[in-house]
Amino acid sequence: MESVAGSSFFSVPMCTDLFRSNILLRVAIVSGAIVFALSDRSHLAAEIEFKSGIEYARPDGQSLKLNMARPEAADLERLPAVVCIHGGGFVGGDRSSWDSFVRKLASCGYIAVTIDYRLAPKYQWPAQIHDCNAAVRWLRAHADRYGIDASQIGVMGNSAGGHLAQFMGVTSDVPEFRGTHTHLDYPHRVQCVAAWSQASDFTREYGIWDRAGEVFEIFLGKSLTTDTRRLHVRASPLFWVTPNATPSIILHGTRDPEVLFAQSVWIYDRLVSAEVDVKLVPLEGAGHSFSGKYLEKASASTIRFFDAHLKKVKAIDR
């Protein structure tokens, strides 16, 4: 099933070095989501194809779409893919917030998509994780059409999207999170995860994030009480970590007032204890959303991580 609405095409120069391209990223914060904007389009060339509004699923009659950036070289060879998941507290945000970053990924040799997923309050957990897993299956089902290496798919996200990405990495073998829609004959396991500013334990967001009580009540259906603690635990990636978890890089601002940096330390320690390949990148002084030097470091670290795990390129720390 596929339709393209409002398709458009943009181009960026191919990436020869992570930050030696002619693209500058500018960031704005909207409902907890990171919104990237191109600072200068005068250098755009003809190597990258960008399509918006491709439908990847229709659960409960709701059209879920993705935007895709891919280098023209994808017609000649199979390339790894990356799924980007927007933030917004599970109640807002938009896939377009990652549009410029998927172009950046495409310039570095990836087929990158940024996806819709169903939002609360109309749709409660676990609809969101079902949709994210469905997007991975859609990519595998359409690997031939788009030139995707179906064996090499990564996922990343910020804030709520970071939670969903991390959750995908620790629950790929848990049947209840597979969902019941979209190409169920394909696997949804991803090969690596990059999580930005994610909450690993929902039970400890109360009293930190000022909207926790309001959002979790509509997202999970109930606020935290003794009787509902198990519901919060089961929606938290921290408690699903096993040695089968996917390799991860976790990036978090040390001055995040909404999701404490400790949230990333907790899951990092759990993944290390399970002998999972994981790296924690503290962004000293950064808040919940990244801009300026923090965004540059997060972007560079993330792409190096994907290169190492999806392209098997030896990582070089800078």
pLDDT for 312:
82
Examine the pLDDT at 173 and tell me if it is beyond 90: yes
To the nearest whole percent, how much of the chain has pLDDT over 70? Answer: 83
pLDDT level of residue 281 (50, 70, 90 thresholds): very high
The Cβ-side half-sphere exposure at 69, using a 13 Å CA radius, reads: 28
Q: Are strands 64-71 and 25-30 parallel, antiparallel or unpaired?
A: unpaired
pLDDT level of residue 144 (50, 70, 90 thresholds): very high
Q: What is the dihedral of CA 298, 172, 70, 115, to 10 degrees?
A: -80
pLDDT for 31:
38
Contact by Cβ (8 Å): 114, 97: yes
Q: Give per-residue pLDDT as tens, 70-111.
A: 998 666 789 999 999 999 999 999 999 999 999 999 999 999
d(CA 107, CA 153): 17
In sequence order, what are the residues at sequence separation of 6 or more whose Cβ sits closer than 8 angstroms to the Cβ of residue 144?
Answer: none
Q: What is the mean pLDDT of residues 111-128?
A: 98
pLDDT for 313:
77
SS3 40: coil
d(CA 181, CA 49): 28
The verdict on pTM exceeding 0.75 is yes
Q: Give per-residue pLDDT as tens, 21-49.
A: 332 333 333 334 444 433 333 233 448 99
Chain-wide mean pLDDT for the chain? 87
Tell me the domains of the chain and their CATH numbers: 25-310 (3.40.50.1820)
